[in-house]
Amino acid sequence: MPDFSDRLNRLPPYLFTRITQLKKEAYAKKLDVIDLGMGNPDQPTPSGVVDRLCDTVKNHPSTHRYPQAKGIPKFRKTVASWMGKRFGVSLDPEREVTALIGSKEGIAHLAMAVLNPGDGVLVGDPAYPAHFNGVILAGGEVHSIPLKPENDFLPEL
């Protein structure tokens, strides 16, 4: 087994691996389980979305390629427009919008882009593992802040 970096060795066990193990044990005992794990969809994708995806793949061969690293310009403009309508925020789609595989990936990579080794980061607790794992992998120091119901889950600074 290879030696891993100190940063990798600082990561705690992955929460959802433990949850999956507990679910399997519960299923084996014939217990009724409500899965509140990773938030995977519990219903099929709407047929209109599936139909549009199939049409796009079949009839638009220009979509059979990797997109630009920061996302297709039309997509970024649409996101900027939606943010303006939804939140009243003005964004430059060329400089302030990027496409991600998912929000957890973005959070983890943001830490690598802005942190230096040893920088301290306030991380709400509870949080998804990516919120603190991204800090750890970037060499930062996690400082947990409890998010409590009596404070509407806002940090008490």
DSSP per-residue string spanning 6-62: HHHHTSPPPHHHHHHHHHHHHHHTT------SS---SSPPPHHHHHHHHHHHHH-GG
What are the tokens at 7?
């940063």
So what's the pLDDT on residue 1? 60
- For residue 105, the enclosing domain spans 101-157
- Whether 112 maps to a domain, the answer reads yes
Q: Is the pTM of this model over 0.85?
A: no
Q: For 84-135, write each residue's pLDDT tens digit.
A: 999 999 999 999 998 888 888 888 889 989 999 999 999 999 988 889 999 9
pLDDT of residue 8: 81
* Sign, CA torsion 138/139/140/146: positive
Using CA of residue 153, residue 41, residue 32, residue 128, what is the dihedral sign? negative
Q: How many domains does the chain have?
A: 1
**pLDDT (tens digit per residue) in 55-70:** 999 999 988 888 777 8
Residue 131 domain flag = yes
143 inside domain: yes
Label residue 132 exposed, middle or buried (CB < 10 Å: 0-12, 13-18, 19+): buried
- Give the rounded distance of the alpha carbon of 31 from its chain centre: 30
Q: Is residue 109 part of a domain?
A: yes
- 60: its two tokens: 């638009």
Question: Looking at the domain assignment, is residue 122 inside a domain?
Answer: yes
Q: Is residue 38 part of a domain?
A: no
In a domain, 146, yes or no: yes
